[in-house]
Homo-oligomer: A and B are copies of this chain.
Amino acid sequence: MFAGAQVSLYPMTDGFVDVILSSLNALDPWRNQLRIETDDISTLIVGPPEVLFPALRDLYASAAATGTHVVLRTTLSRGCPGEPDDPICQTGALANPEEPLASRQQSALAAIAATPEKGQVADVQFSLYVMGAGDHMAEIVGCIDFLKQSGTFDRSKNFCTRLTGDAGPVFATLQQAFCQFGPPNGHVTIDLTVSANSPSKR
């Protein structure tokens, strides 16, 4: 299995380079479990979902704590048939394919309840895509049903769903959406935007 994310931070300030560089320190506790490569558009972070989502949460929370209007943008993927298996991605976090949807929804809700808060609000917009064989709309509808019970659900929009709340439970919700829905050997992606300190909200 191959899993990871292409990640970008967009701080809406003249000092955007400083905000990006200082926020990257938040990845330090996770670096030994990830492979990280940067170019001029995004940073590739390869690793298992149970490391990837907390690392993204900490990166976001660090950038948000600067008080700047900043957006974290990520393309997450697991199981892409075009990518090679990678030992660093080995994970026990993906749902058992034999488990019914209702039971997977309950596990996902329990995981959110067990997640501590981070002290930073995260306004999220995301789309979950399930590719390949099987009934991809049944999995997406099951996931939306879980999201509505998650405590972080804000509203549905065209093409995407909005979440809001503390970054702890919000990123836990995203991790559960990514891991519990769609087959464990399937190709699942998330197109994710997380916004902090937007003046449009004030």
Contact = CB atoms under 8 A, between A and B. Distances in A.
Interface of A: 2, 4-6, 8, 10-14, 16-17, 39-42, 44, 46, 69, 71, 73, 75, 77, 80-83, 123, 125, 127, 129-132, 136-137, 140, 157-160, 162, 189, 191, 193, 195, 198-201
Contacts of A158: 2, 4, 6, 44, 46, 77, 83
Given A40-B123, A42-B193, A131-B130, A137 B81 contact: yes
A139 to B, nearest CB: 11
Given A42-B125, A75-B191, A189-B159, A13 B14 contact: yes
A8 B71 contact: yes
A10 B13 contact: no
Contact of A14 (B14, B46, B125, B157): B14
Contact of A129 (B10, B13, B129, B137): B129
Given A6-B125, A127-B189, A131-B131, 8 more contacts: A8-B193, A10-B71, A39-B200, A40-B198, A41-B125, A41-B198, A77-B159, A82-B137
Contacts of A16: 12-13, 69
A16 B83 CA distance: 37
> Which of A81, A140, A193, A199 has the most B CB atoms < 10 Å from its CB?
A193
A195 B10 CA distance: 11
Nearest to A14: B14
Nearest to A13: B14
A146 to B, nearest CB: 16
Nearest to A154: B41
B40 A201 contact: yes
Contacts of A189: 127, 129, 159, 191
A191 B193 contact: no
